[in-house]
Every structure is written in C-alpha cells, then in structure tokens.
Amino acid sequence: MRKYEMLVLLPKVMTTTWVVDSNAFIHLGSLSPMGLIESLENALKDNGIKLHVTSGVHDEVRNVRFQKWDGRPNLLSTISHLLTTVTIGEGEIRAIAQKIGEKAAPQDVDLSLMVLAARYELEGRKVVLVTDDFKMTTTKVKAGFGFETCPPSTFINRLSESASNKHTTTLRTLSRHIRAAEMRYAISRSAEYDIQAKLTWLVDSLLTNRPQTKVQENSIISEDDSMVLTLMSHMRGEKIKKSRLKKLGRLPEICKSVSEIDSQLATLLDEKDMSDISIIYDQFLEILRLTLENTGVGLSPLEDSISVIAHRAMAGPISRLETVLGLMANLIGRDQIARLHFTRALHQASLSNDNSAEIRTLHHLGLLALAEGNFQRSAELFEAADLQAQVKDAPRLRHVIAAGLSRHLSGDDTNATSLIQSANDIIEGNENLAIEPLLILGRSLMGIDRPWLAMEIFDEALECAIEAELPNEIFRIKGLLLLVSTAAAGQDNEENIAIRGLLDRLNSTDVKIDKEVNEVISTVEKISKEHLKPLEDTWKEWRPASDLFANERKLDVLRSISDSEGQTLVIVHHNILGGLGLWMPANTPEFAPNQHIVISGTRIKVADATAELADKHNIRGVIAIENPDELDISVDIVEAIIEEENN
C-alpha cells in the first residue's frame, strides 16, 4: 500500500499543471523570437506536459500572430500541439462570479480559467494559473481557491529552468522582455486605478530576492524575530492578526514611509519621466532623506531593543532604494556618490540577511574600484561576491571573470590564471548559459569606460553564441562589437594583448568555431572602417535633426568630456552612422556611458571632426545642437533592474 501511495504522489511533486490566460499568449505573440516553439517543446518535454486553456482563450487570441517571425504566422495554429483545451460550462462561470461578487469578478474567460485551475487542484495536481491580471490573484482567495498564480514573465522563467542548452537562454531572454512589458503596462494604467498592490506583486521578485518571512510550522524563533517578520509583512500590505499587530506598538506608523519605497521605486519604470535622470536621482534622494528622517524621529524616544526590530525590518526596502540610487548615480557619472550608496546598500542588506542583495552590491563596488584603478580592492570585492554566490548557489560567472581581470591588472597573474580557469569550468558545456552574464559584464565595463576590457568579453560571448548555434545572439553581439569598437579609441597595446591571452582561456574552441568567429570579427572590422570615414555631407546652417537621423533613432553615449568653459563634447555611437560628437553648451544634463539619446524637435549643424578628435575618439563628425532642452535622454532602468534579478 505504501509503495502504491508513493507512486501516486510522485507526479504531484514533480510536475506542474500550467493554466494559461490570453494575455500570456499575446505577450508571446508580440515578443517571441524565432525558434520559440522548439524551446517550449524542450522545456515541456518531461511527462508530456502541455499548456491548459479554455475555449474562451481561443476566441480571444484567434487573430494573434508572431510579430517577429518571418511571415508572421498565426499563434494558435503554430502552438496548437502544445495546448490542451477544456470547455467550461456557463453555469460554473456564473456560480463563481456570484461567489466573488459580480462587480468584483474578472471577465468570463478569466473566470473559466479559474474554474479549470480549481478543478485540477481538486484532482490533487500542483496548479499554477499564469496571468498578469492581478484581479485573478486577489479574487481567487475570496473564492476559496488554493492554486498558485504567477505573471507570464515568471512562467517563462520557470520553464527555462526545465529547458536545456540554448533553449534556456532563449526563454530567459524572453522572460526579461515580458517582465519589462508587464511593468510598463501597469505603470501606464496608473491614472485609471490604484496599481500599488499589483506593482508590489510584480516588483516583489524584481527588485530583490527577499528573505523568507513565513515561519515553518515546527520552527522555533525568538520573540524579536517574530516581531521583525510581522512588521515586514505589515509593510508589504499583508493582513496581520490584531494580536500580533498590537505587539508592534507604534512601529507600523513610524515605518509607514518605508512601506511605500517599493511602489515609489516602481515609478522608475515610467519612461516618460526619464528625460533627465539627474532630476529623478535628486527626487529619490529626497525620498531617502525624508524616510530616514521620519523614522529616526519616530524611533528616537523608543527603547534600543524596539528600534533594532524596526531597523531590521526596514533594511530590505532601504537597501533596494540605496542600490537604485547607486545605479542612477553611476549612470550620470557620479562615481564617488555611487560608491557611497552601494556601500550603504551592502550594510542594509547584511541587516536584512539578504545574500542576493549583498552579492549584487559587492559586484557594483568592485566595478567602481576597478574604474578608479584600485585593482587590489576590486579583486577583493569581486572575490567576496563570488564567495557569497557559492554559499547561496547563485550564478558566479561575472564575479569570477571580473576578479580574474582585477588580479591580472594588479600584477597577480597566478591568482588571475586560477580564477579564469574556474570560469572556464563554469562555461565548458554550458556556453549558451554563459552568454548573458558575459554581455552584462561587458556592458558594465563599458559603463565604467573600460571599452578594451569590454571588447575582449564580447569576443568570448561571440564564441559561446557560435558554439551554441544561436543566430539571434550572434546578431546582437555583432551590434555590441560595433559599439565597443567606437568606444575603444586609440591603438591596441601590450596590456590589452596580455588580457586577450588571459581571457582566451575562458572557452576552448575548435578550428571550425575559430573560423566562424574570425568571419564575424572581419565583418565588424570592415563596418568599423567605413564608420571612420568623414561624413559625406556637412551643414553650416541649422537644419532639422530628422535630415540626418530617422525619427526616434537612438544614440548610445560612450563618454563625455567637459572643457574649462563648461561645454561638453558627448561621444555617441549610431548603429548606422558610427561614432559622432555632440557639442553641448553649459548647464545641460549630465551624460555618462550606457545612456541613450534621441535627437528630435531641434535643429542641428554638422561639421567634419578634426583629425585630433577623429583619432582620439573614433568619431567621423561633430554635431552642434541648437536647443539642448529638446534632447530626449533615456536610461533603461527596467532592463538594469531585471539584469540585477537574473544575475
């Protein structure tokens, strides 16, 4: 009998039944790359798992197409073999609507999915309803259903854990793109309804992996720990028993401003507000100041033991705010201030026992030390991040490679070689999984104006992409190599050659792969040489920017140089035109690598770059801006935070 019970229970533990709503398929249609079906099949291969929908979903997505695929095929026709469709009766839908309350109830198709998920749950299955409709999450509790819900981005990310080889990379990349779309959509609806709870649901796993706050039934914790957990739960908006809340005294009131931090951070995802990141930085710095001031005033009369409880509960949100402030300060070139924010974020993360936040912050501090040439210190910080990652069983690759680079630059070649060998052990056989960490590290190195280092990292990512046979990734890396070729002005030198020799040990490739890599590099070099030629036309009179740039054409900031009069030369890269210089008058926004500029609504003049500027900065022309206030400056904070979560 016991054997039989084990055989029955095993599938319940091992498999998940996915019930998927219409919006998830709409996201797939809009954002999926070519080859998604193969990746889904790979992730769902175990036990013949399929995606479960109701007939109403078919009606809602009947005309959805894969927008990025050749020929834009119909989504339903393409994925039909992966679907199990169930028809739910009108009576069941009306019954659940009445139970929830007609006004509060979701739409009929969503209700049918809830009925289906509940039906599967009664059969003893582990059920997850995939939806970005937060109403389905809140009303399922009211209806008494116990199945889990998650947004489409989390669903795709969980599938990536079951996939193998190149399919894991495809699904993880898609998950990040869907998550960004989810956040932006939520923000766009902020004028229509109160989105704070939904943002908390979406942001909860986005900003950081929070420490577990629910207490296991048989665990024994101290009274202080219990109060910390209770206060944290209250700050997240969870319902707390009155008896437990009463023990907290005035702490919930004192910590009210802390409980609002995550929803305030979520406003960073509204791109319309990103015209000048320095203004956004100042606004959030004021939020931090007021939060610390208000809580400090409130806690000062209390016993130290009570204040400690508050500080531990507040540490997570404050650490996240300090981290985002550090990211913004770094993006506008305020390196010393960024270091202060990251240091304070590390301190707060240690109070909250958040290992993930500690790892990320140590890595940022390592980058800042590397930027100022303190290679011994940067190596120590990257190695500390790697040690924490090993303890937490988190991804290590970025930290190990960065530590190896730092050890080499400090003159410690023995340890540098050992660290790069450790990185090789991680990459070997997992080339597809290594691509994204390598690209993130490369972009980070560009962000601290170390383009020659970034170039070598991008080269290694290219090798991995070619080995893993990922054409979309190869195309993306070619674009980054063009970008970094402009940033890496000047001549190659002995130090760069030595670093190249060190990093060549990251990945072992055969002659065939080397040949394909060289072909891509040759193509990039050919385009780069074309980008060094002077512009064909120059303008002495003011003309619309659209005469030179297509509307909304993005320019990537590589670096900026200010003269004694306050004027700034911003070195930018255009993916078609190559390197350009923008002369900006005094009192313009702050510029730093990894920002993006769109020139619109203003007139410009165009001149040839002088021989000195062309040689020093790899630019082919210089542009004067008539109205700098009309520049659209943006930094993708969404993508930066998502990278933080996944790496």
Describe the crossing of helices 397-409 and 413-427 by its angle, rounded to 10 degrees.
160
Q: How far apart are CA 430 and CA 448, in angstroms?
A: 28
Sole residue written with tokens 């707060």: 348
Reported as a single tens digit per residue, the pLDDT across 151-184 is 898 889 888 888 887 788 888 888 877 877 776 6
- pLDDT at position 192 is 52
- What are the tokens at 445? 């190195």
- pLDDT at position 274 is 52
Q: Which stretch of 69-78, 314-323, 370-379, 448-457 has the lowest confidence by average pLDDT?
A: 314-323
Contact 237, 343 (CB under 8 A): no
Q: How far apart are CA 280 and CA 576, in angstroms?
A: 31
- pLDDT at position 401 is 96
- pLDDT at position 550 is 67
Q: How far apart are CA 642 and CA 157, in angstroms?
A: 12
- pLDDT at position 275 is 54
Reported as a single tens digit per residue, the pLDDT across 491-534 is 778 888 999 999 999 988 888 999 999 999 999 999 988 888 88
Specify whether the backbone of 20 is left (phi greater than 0), alpha (psi in -120 to 50) or beta.
Answer: beta
- pLDDT at position 87 is 86
The pTM score is 0.63
pLDDT of 351 strictly over 70:
yes
Average pLDDT over residues 356-373: 86
Which of 3.30.565.60, 3.40.50.620, 3.40.50.1010, 3.30.1950.10 would CATH assign to domain 2-188?
3.40.50.1010
pLDDT of 204 strictly over 60:
no
- 322 Cβ partners below 8 Å, 6+ apart? 288, 341, 342, 344, 345, 348
- pLDDT at position 599 is 78
Contact 233, 240 (CB under 8 A): yes
* Confidence grade of residue 25 (pLDDT, cut at 50, 70, 90): very high
- What are the tokens at 423? 């990185």
Which of the residue ranges 119-128, 241-250, 480-489, 540-549 has the most confident prediction, judged by mean pLDDT? 480-489
* More confident of the two residues 465 and 588: 465
pLDDT of 15 strictly over 70:
yes
Q: Which stretch of 223-227, 429-433, 458-462 has the lowest confidence by average pLDDT?
A: 223-227
Average pLDDT over residues 203-209: 40
pLDDT of 250 strictly over 60:
yes
Q: How far apart are CA 80 and CA 65, in angstroms?
A: 13
In eight-state DSSP terms, residue 545 is G
**CA geometry: angle at 521 spanning 518 and 525, to 5°?**
135
Q: How far apart are CA 539 and CA 605, in angstroms?
A: 5
- What are the tokens at 365? 């501090």
Domain residue ranges of the chain, discontinuous segments joined by +: 2-188, 200-209+222-353, 539-638
Reported as a single tens digit per residue, the pLDDT across 222-246 is 677 788 888 888 888 778 888 888 8
Q: Which stretch of 76-90, 223-237, 437-451, 582-596 has the lowest confidence by average pLDDT?
A: 582-596
User: How many C-beta atoms surround the C-beta of residue 527 within 10 A?
Assistant: 16
* More confident of the two residues 578 and 601: 578
pLDDT of 148 strictly over 80:
yes
- The answer to whether the 2-188 and 539-638 domains have the same CATH topology is no
Report the DSSP pairing between strands 632-634 and 596-598: antiparallel
Report the DSSP pairing between strands 578-584 and 568-574: antiparallel
- pLDDT at position 105 is 55
Report H helices in 189-260.
Answer: 196-207, 223-235, 242-247, 251-254, 256-259
In DSSP terms, 607 is beta-bridged to 622
Sole residue written with tokens 């165009």: 606
pLDDT of 8 strictly over 50:
no
* Confidence grade of residue 462 (pLDDT, cut at 50, 70, 90): very high
Q: Give the containing element (helix H, strand E) for 634.
A: strand 632-634
Q: How far apart are CA 12 and CA 122, in angstroms?
A: 12
Amino acid residing at 66: F
- 642 Cβ partners below 8 Å, 6+ apart? 176, 179, 180, 206
Query: pLDDT averaged over the chain?
Result: 81
Side by side, the strands of the sheet bearing 83-86 are: 83-86, 51-54, 17-20, 127-130, 148-150
- CA dihedral (32, 36, 42, 45) in degrees, to 10, reads 80
Q: How far apart are CA 35 and CA 147, in angstroms?
A: 31
pLDDT of 186 strictly over 80:
no
- pLDDT at position 199 is 53
- 93 Cβ partners below 8 Å, 6+ apart? 108, 111, 112, 115
Q: How far apart are CA 191 and CA 171, in angstroms?
A: 32
CATH class name, domain 539-638: mainly beta
